[in-house]
Structure formats: structure tokens, C-alpha cells
């Protein structure tokens, strides 16, 4: 039976120039539930779909506030994300202590990018099996960064990663021009709609399975869950129905 000989470690290229371990790690990201991020001129928003392993268990944490000015959303191995978020928390505190300033998002993203890259070039290491969206506001305004297990990081206007995220990205691409000028509320609705689009037919966004993270200019990063997002869910999907968009089932 055919067996791939070039995927035993992350330091060996295949003859086609691929590093399979890194690609497999990227598959782990696709196993995670979907997360979406969007930025406007004034705000950065994260939206995430939480999964519970079984009815009796709690929902997996998808959004982690790191510092007052930013937070992350994760798709993939939650435990790897925890390691990365601890590192980010430390770096953020260090920046506050040594320079008395919030760490620039480009800088913290570069730091975790570098960390992830070393895992792909040293024998015996394993790439992080998690993708992150880093969203927040620094001295240069609102930002959204995407982080991949390969160590690749990019600044984005809007982004979706995780299972079935292609549908979310399609929504984001279609509405790309609207984001920049969006208000806080509009941006949140866009994020929720993008999230909703990635769901399978039989699934719904509910208070229990949705998380939001919002930060803006002069507004600290804050996570919204449960009852706090009930209103947004209601108004977002009511309007979609009125506009005659894709038909959705709304709880009444």
C-alpha cells in the first residue's frame, strides 16, 4: 500500500517541495469550528461558533481576551492556542512594563509567527495545530491579523478560518466594500451573518453557541456571550429575512 515517506517530521521536504507535517497541521485548523473577524475604520470584531463535545459538556472557549486592547479567536487545537495565548499575555504585560505602552498588534503577531516558524524547522518539534485571528486596536488604529500553523501571518480586512469557513469567506468577499465605513453595530451584524452562512442547514446561531469579541478606538476589547448577544442575534437575522435574503429559520 502506498505510504507517504515524507511526513514523519516537519524538517523534511517532499520532492515536490512540500512539508507535509505543516500541511497536516493546517488540516487541524479546518477541523476546528469557524471563527470570523472583520475590521472597520474604527472597530475590530471577532465572532466565533462554539462547539460542545456532547450535550452534557460545556462549550469550547473560542475567544480569549489577551490585553485590554486586543483578543484572539482560535480554530483548531485549543490546548495549542492556550500555550500561544499565555505567551501573548506575557509579551503584552512585558510591553506595558518596559515601555508603558500597549503592544502593537503587528509586533505580537510577528512574535507568535516567529515562534510557530521555529517549530517547522527543528527536528522533534511539532507545528502548532491552531489558527488564530488577532483583532484589536493599537496606536495605528484597528487591526485584524491571521495566524497559521506554518508561521505565516497576514493583516486582513476580513477573515474566516475553521470548518466550513469557505462559506463565511464568500459572504465576506461579497460585502468587502462595506466594512471600512461600517459602524460598530453594522460590523457585528456582518460578522454574525458571515458566521451564520458557514453553518449547515440544520444548525442555528444561539446565545449558547456564539461568542463575540469587540474592540474599537477608545474602546477596550470585550467578549460578549450568552444573554448579552441575544439582542444582536435577534436584530441581525430579523433584518436578513425582511430584506429577502437567504431564508433562515428564526426562533420566535
Partner 1 sequence: MAALSSYTMSSSTPAFSFQQAPQTSSAAGGTTQHSFYPYTDNGGSTLGISGDTFTIIAGDTRSTSGYNINTRHAPKLFRIGGDGPTHKNARIVLSVVGFAADGHALQERLDTLVKLYRYQHGKDISVHACAQRLSHILYGKRFFPYYVTAILGGIDEEGKGALYSYDPVGSYEREYCRAAGAAASLIMPFLDNQVNLKNQYEPEAAQGLHKPQLVAKPLDRKTTEELVRDAFTSAVERHIEVGDGLQMMVITKDGIEEIVSPLKQD
Partner 2 sequence: MDHFPQAWGRPRDDIYGSYNPSYLPHNKGGYQAHPNGQPNTHTQSPIVTGTSVIAIKFKSGVVIAADNLASYGSLARFTDVKRLKPFNKKAVVGFGGDVSDMQYLDRLLSSLDVQENYRSGSSGHGDEEAENRAMMSAKNLHTYLSKVMYKRRTDFNPLWNALLVAGLDEKSTPFLAFADLLGTTYSSPTLATGFGAHLAQPIMRRAVPDEEASQNLEREKAVEVVKQCMKVLFYRDARSMNVYSMAVIDENGVDLKEDIKLEAESWAFAEGIKGYGTQTV
Asked if 155 contacts 189 with a C-beta cutoff of 8 angstroms, the reply is no
Span interacting with partner 1, options 70-78, 94-102, 142-150, 209-217, rule CB under 8 A? 94-102
Listed ranges 20-28, 65-73, 153-161, 169-177: which one lies at the site for partner 1 (CB under 8 A): 65-73
Between CA 95 and CA 226 the distance in angstroms is 32
97 binds partner 2 (CB under 8 A): yes
How many chain residues interact with partner 1 (CB under 8 A)? 9
8, 11, 14, 93: which one binds partner 1 (CB under 8 A): 93
Instruction: Please select the residue that binds partner 2; options are 53, 55, 56, 100, rule is CB under 8 A.
Output: 100
Residue 13 corresponds to which cell in the numbers above? Answer: 521536504
Of 99, 202, 227, 242, the one binding partner 2 by CB under 8 A: 99
Look up residue 129 and give its three cell numbers.
Answer: 495545530
Q: Which does 93 bind (CB under 5 to 8 A by kind): partner 1, partner 2, none?
A: partner 1
Between the CA of residue 81 and those of 107, 115, 130, what are the distances in Å? 18, 13, 6
Reading phi first (left if > 0) and then psi (alpha if -120 to 50, else beta), residue 139 is in alpha
| Residue 167 CB coordination number (10 Å) | 17
138 binding partner 1? (CB under 8 A): no
CB of 91 to partner 2, least distance (A): 14
Which of the ranges 32-40, 44-52, 135-143, 207-215 carries the binding residues for partner 2, by CB under 8 A? Answer: 135-143
**Contact region for partner 2 (CB under 8 A) — 30-38, 51-59, 106-114, 179-187?**
106-114
- Decide if residue 141 touches partner 2 (CB under 8 A): yes
- Cα dihedral: 105, 110, 116, 117 (round 10): 160
Tell me which residue has cell 506575557: 90
Burial of residue 95 (number of CB atoms within 10 Å: 0-12, 13-18, 19+): middle
Amino acid at each position: 500500500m502506498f505510504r507517504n515517506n515524507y511526513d514523519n517530521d516537519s524538517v523534511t521536504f517532499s520532492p515536490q517541495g512540500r512539508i507535509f507535517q505543516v500541511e497536516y497541521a493546517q488540516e487541524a485548523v479546518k477541523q476546528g469550528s469557524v471563527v470570523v473577524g472583520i475590521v472597520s475604520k474604527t472597530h475590530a470584531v471577532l465572532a466565533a461558533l462554539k462547539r460542545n463535545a456532547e450535550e452534557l459538556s460545556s462549550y469550547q472557549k473560542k475567544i480569549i481576551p489577551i490585553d485590554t486592547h486586543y483578543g484572539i479567536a482560535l480554530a483548531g487545537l485549543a490546548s495549542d492556542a492556550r500555550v500561544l495565548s499565555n505567551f501573548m499575555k506575557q509579551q503584552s504585560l512585558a510591553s506595558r512594563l518596559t515601555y508603558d505602552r500597549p503592544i502593537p498588534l503587528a509586533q505580537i503577531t510577528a512574535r507568535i509567527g516567529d515562534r510557530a516558524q521555529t517549530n517547522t524547522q527543528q527536528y522533534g518539534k511539532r507545528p502548532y495545530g491552531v489558527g488564530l485571528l488577532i483583532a484589536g486596536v493599537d496606536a495605528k488604529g484597528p487591526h485584524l491579523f491571521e495566524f497559521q500553523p506554518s508561521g505565516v501571518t497576514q493583516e486582513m480586512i476580513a477573515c474566516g478560518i475553521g470548518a466550513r469557513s469557505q462559506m463565511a469567506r464568500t459572504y465576506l468577499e461579497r460585502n468587502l466594500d462595506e466594512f471600512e465605513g461600517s459602524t460598530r453595530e453594522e460590523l457585528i451584524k456582518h460578522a454574525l451573518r458571515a458566521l451564520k452562512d458557514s453553518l449547515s442547514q440544520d444548525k442555528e446561531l444561539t446565545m449558547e453557541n456564539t461568542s463575540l469579541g469587540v474592540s474599537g478606538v477608545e474602546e477596550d476589547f470585550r467578549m460578549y456571550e450568552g444573554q448579552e448577544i441575544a439582542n444582536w442575534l435577534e436584530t441581525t437575522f430579523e433584518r436578513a429575512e425582511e430584506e429577502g435574503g437567504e431564508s433562515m429559520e428564526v426562533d420566535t
